[in-house]
Amino acid sequence: MKLRSVLTALTLVLGALLAPGVGVLGGATAAHAATKISHATATSMFRASGITWSSSGGCSDRSNATCTSFDQLNLATAQGAQTLKSASGCAL
């Protein structure tokens, strides 16, 4: 993998994390609350980008610790994962 690809991906992810009002570290306010997505939406986005995941419990029940659930995932986080996958070409 090229250093430039890694740096580009890192820059994009950090930009999403630090974006004023919407980034995880940008201090979101009530007026700029993060958009949450469902497990089905997240898995659809990830499949479309070639991002894979697994669940040790083989389930997606958010209340079960052995399940993997993307329910209530921030949209910007899912988009950041897609951007990282696309920019880096690495497996996610």
Query: HSE (CB half, 13 Å, CA atoms) of 71?
Result: 9
pLDDT tens track for 32-53: 789 999 999 999 999 999 999 9
Report pTM.
0.65
Angle between helices 75-88 and 3-18 (to 10 degrees): 170
pLDDT tens track for 46-89: 999 999 999 989 999 999 999 999 999 999 999 999 999 999 99
